Amino acid sequence: MPTTSPDAARAETLSIAVEADVVRVRQAVRTRAAALGFSIVDQTKVVTAASELARNTLKHGGGGHCRVEPVTAGGRVGLRLVFEDQGPGIPDVRLALTDGYTTGGGMGLGLSGSRRLMTDFDLWSEVGKGTRVTVAKWK
């Protein structure tokens, strides 16, 4: 990766405890996606997904953290984001991934929408333990 500086390749973890942290996550993800050479459209998709998932971590998970991690596989460059909380968990994961299903009074597009915006999407959740959403976008 000649275009990537060592700093841009290092993983970082950001805490999500207050609303301003959601903005900080967006900015960190934008910086990374731009440094990795993602197109403007892909940068926008990744940052928008990050915004949705960070808000979920804050509002449904009661806060947590986000790991921003550049990854490579088979010569391809990607950006992986892991959102984790120790909140109440999601009782019905399939229902939570349905468009329009909401418990937070929103549009119910956070999870399902982020899934469409990213290449890889993995959701782990256990009631009473927490939720972990791992997403990645490949160039």
- Residue numbers of the site for another protein (CB under 8 A)? 19-20, 22-23, 26-27, 30, 40-41, 43-45, 47-48, 51-52, 55, 99, 106-107, 109-110, 112-114, 116-117
| Tokens 């994961």 found at | 93
Considering the complex, what minimum distance in angstroms separates the CB of residue 92 from another protein?
Answer: 20
Listed in sequence order, the residues at least 6 apart from 118 whose beta carbon sits closer than 8 Å to its beta carbon are 45, 46, 49, 135, 136, 137
Query: Shortest distance, CB of residue 108 to another protein, whole angstroms?
Result: 8
How far, rounded to the nearest angstrom, does the alpha carbon of residue 93 sit from its chain's CA centroid?
Answer: 17
Q: Helices 40-59 and 19-35: crossing angle, nearest 10°?
A: 150
Residue indicated by tokens 């999870």: 111
Would you say 41 or 73 has its CB closer to another protein?
A: 41
* Least spacing, CB of residue 139 vs another protein, in Å: 16
For another protein, which is the closer residue by CB, 99 or 126? Answer: 99
Q: Which helix (H) or strand (E) holds 126?
A: strand 120-126
CB of 2 to another protein, least distance (A): 26
Q: Which residue, 40 or 73, has its beta carbon nearer to another protein?
A: 40
